[in-house]
Structure 1
Amino acid sequence: MNDNQQLLAYGRELLTLEINEAQKLPDRLGDDFVRACHLILNTQGKVVVSGIGKSGHIGKKIAASLASTGSPAFFMHPSEALHGDLGMIEKNDVAILISYSGQAKEFALILPTLASMEVPVIAITGRKDSPLAQAAVSVIDISIEKEACPMGLAPTCSSTNTLLMGDALAIATMRARKFSEEDFARSHPAGSLGAKLLNHVKDVMRTGARIPKIQTDATVFEAMLELSRTGLGLVVVCDSHYYIKGVFTDGDLRRLLLKNGTLKDPIEQVMITPGYQLPEQWKAVEALKALHDHNINAAPVVNNAGQLVGALNIHDLHQAGIC
């Protein structure tokens, strides 16, 4: 076996060992898991997650997952907790403490304070008879037969089990809350999902001078100038009160000229009446679907009274992250 083959063998061995250990977790879910979920769901405060070393790194991810799926949570480093950060915990909170051995010295100092405050503890540990487990209201069992590390020192299978159990808590409570895509988007406003679900047409449309519009008494030449000025691919024909009478696109212009039309033609004679319009209160993702369904690239935007308030094309939507 050459060096490359040996590396592949090492990688496959680790993955096999971690998968084998992880496959034991579903059968361990029972009353303690249900109790932990209810503690998270019913808390009037926040979920405080803590762990040291690799457990701390996994704990940060668990706290982040809980926070983004409807359970307000934050990570507290055990050492910092002993030097003032315990002040961030309140009586209505729930604590998730992570330690495979259940014997972390920092937790031995933290647990009495939590008990005096009547803060319930969820222990994620591999030792159900440890001091941490004995002090907990709920014990999540992440025990393993062996680590994938050949020396049995570096947390591998145990840290994977911790991550999986943390995800199980986060997603189980999320589903119990009936947490929706819209709820998720509110905590991820900068992400693509947030752009799709939170933005409305009025948030991304062109307004003011950027709206390509002409009056009903204009000519095709004036429409062409407005098309060139704005580059939207469409010009809106409206009256003096901004009620839309029709639309005219650059495609319409090409077809008109090919049929021997002239730039002096009145726009009312060649425009499309009334033309497709988008309500400003629609979600942006609904507007994108509507444009695709009607096989058009742009449309004017109207308010509840039917008056022109904006314009939008597919490029505008894509730039806003709606795709």
Structure 2
Amino acid sequence: MTATDYLTSGRQTIRLEIEAVQELLNHLDDHFSRACELMFNCKGRVIVTGMGKSGHIGNKIAATLASTGTPAFFVHPGEASHGDLGMFTGNDLVLALSNSGETAEVVTILPLIKRMGAPLVSITANSQSTLARSADINLHIPVDREACPLGLAPTSSTTAQLVLGDALAIALLEARGFSSEDFAFSHPGGSLGRRLLLKVDDIMHTGAEIPVVSADTPVREALLEVTRKHLGMTAVTDADGKLLGIFTDGDLRRTLDLAVDLAATQIHEVMTPDATRIRPGILAAEALSLMQERKINALLVVDDQERPVGALNMHDMLKAGVI
């Protein structure tokens, strides 16, 4: 095959799978709504099962359901016949995938699923199959032609299964009012989890790490504090420790332009008063949004008495994975 042949084949495969998804969209009906209702009202968990390629798709559907608010897990139908049916209860719902609807390993466990009283939703390409007729609701995939030119390898059919599984998961997500915060709780190790769950308290510098000088500190000494604490700024406080302002690298450049005496000039004369500040407990993502809005690189965290209790900058956001 030439490079052109490869491209032609690839495009043909994609075209056929697009057609399969389009056909699925055209055939979506009230069976889908009823399946969603059953899954939404399930008191237990959604148990997904399927053999071969349908099993791989089922595994992914179970993972998507679980991460979007519908408790779910995958059980291999062969293992189910050898003890794993003990995972099933009458409060669960079974979602079974089989393109033919006659997969032996799946058909074998159908009487036991029915006996325990668990609702059964099937996804098949054959609406007259054993699986489809046994199901409380059958979701029909109208795929007449696989993308495989031999008509053997599951391609268009598994793509349609996957899309239908995503449609179920997202419909249930919306029905539950599942939020981005809910999503983050099931993905604490991901970047989204960090963005949505991390608070400034988790990443801010505290105690002796906070750069602070009093209002009457000479600029030269204030610069030493900025250098020691490595945050590119220092808080300026009054005699009671309350925040008066902030002195940043930008303030230093402006001060040097004025050609002032750094040893004789007090920091309150050249600081930025009314510094942007935040309270403890807010999300790091909110703090980042504020920094981007104000076009600043550092923030001070103050308590109810306006005393600095923390400090952070863009580097801290970057290290924590918030950016």
Fold conserved between structures, TM > 0.5: yes
Contact 1:125 1:133 in 2 (8 A): yes
Q: Following the alignment from structure 1 to structure 2, what is the Cα–Cα distance between the partners of residues 84 and 262? A: 83
Q: Following the alignment from structure 2 to structure 1, what is the Cα–Cα distance between the partners of residues 305 and 94? A: 53
SS for the counterpart of 1:162 is helix
1:28 — aligned with what?
27
1:87 — aligned with what?
86
Q: CA deviation at 1:314?
A: 1.7
Contact 1:54 1:155 in 2 (8 A): yes
Report the AA paired with residue 306 of structure 1. E
Question: What are the equivalent positions in structure 2 for 1:169-248 lying under 5 Å apart?
Answer: 169-239=168-238, 242-248=241-247
1:11 — aligned with what?
10
**More displaced 10-residue stretch of structure 1: 249-258 or 58-67:** 249-258
2:291 — aligned with what?
291
Q: Following the alignment from structure 1 to structure 2, what is the Cα–Cα distance between the partners of residues 275 and 106? A: 68
Q: CA deviation at 1:304?
A: 3.5
SS for the counterpart of 1:25 is helix
Q: CA deviation at 1:321?
A: 2.1
Report the AA paired with residue 318 of structure 1. L
Q: 1:147-169 deviations in whole A, cap 9, x for unaligned?
A: 11111110011111111111111
1:142 — aligned with what?
141
Q: Following the alignment from structure 1 to structure 2, what is the Cα–Cα distance between the partners of residues 37 and 241? A: 61
Contact 1:185 1:198 in 2 (8 A): yes
SS for the counterpart of 2:144 is coil
SS for the counterpart of 1:24 is helix
Aligned-residue CA RMSD in angstroms? 1.7
Unaligned runs of 5+ in 1: none
Q: Following the alignment from structure 1 to structure 2, what is the Cα–Cα distance between the partners of residues 299 and 149? A: 58
2:276 — aligned with what?
276
Q: 1:130-188 deviations in whole A, cap 9, x for unaligned?
A: 11111111101113111111111100111111111111111111111121222222212
Report the AA paired with residue 20 of structure 2. E
Q: CA deviation at 1:240?
A: 6.0
2:161 — aligned with what?
162
Contact 1:243 1:307 in 2 (8 A): yes
2:316 — aligned with what?
316
SS for the counterpart of 2:39 is helix
Q: CA deviation at 1:222?
A: 2.2
SS for the counterpart of 1:245 is strand
SS for the counterpart of 2:23 is coil
Q: CA deviation at 1:62?
A: 0.4
Q: CA deviation at 1:190?
A: 2.3
Report the AA paired with residue 230 of structure 2. G
1:306 — aligned with what?
306
Q: CA deviation at 1:251?
A: 2.4
Q: CA deviation at 1:66?
A: 0.6
Q: CA deviation at 1:88?
A: 1.5
TM superposition outliers: structure 1 runs of 4+ over 3 Å: 239-242
Percent sequence identity is 48
Contact 1:59 1:75 in 2 (8 A): yes
Q: CA deviation at 1:239?
A: 4.3
Q: Following the alignment from structure 2 to structure 1, what is the Cα–Cα distance between the partners of residues 110 and 245? A: 72
2:45 — aligned with what?
46
Q: Following the alignment from structure 2 to structure 1, what is the Cα–Cα distance between the partners of residues 186 and 153? A: 34
Contact 1:234 1:299 in 2 (8 A): no
Contact 2:51 2:76 in 1 (8 A): yes
**More displaced 10-residue stretch of structure 1: 37-46 or 260-269:** 260-269
Q: Following the alignment from structure 1 to structure 2, what is the Cα–Cα distance between the partners of residues 273 and 149? A: 69
**More displaced 10-residue stretch of structure 1: 45-54 or 212-221:** 212-221
Q: 1:125 to 1:243 in 2, by over 3 A?
A: same
Unaligned runs of 5+ in 2: none
Q: Following the alignment from structure 2 to structure 1, what is the Cα–Cα distance between the partners of residues 143 and 268? A: 78
Contact 1:256 1:262 in 2 (8 A): no
Q: CA deviation at 1:207?
A: 1.7
Matched, 1:258 2:251: no
Contact 1:100 1:143 in 2 (8 A): no
* Residues paired across the two proteins, number: 322
Q: Following the alignment from structure 2 to structure 1, what is the Cα–Cα distance between the partners of residues 261 and 123? A: 78
Report the AA paired with residue 180 of structure 2. E
Contact 2:237 2:244 in 1 (8 A): yes
Q: Following the alignment from structure 2 to structure 1, what is the Cα–Cα distance between the partners of residues 16 and 156? A: 7
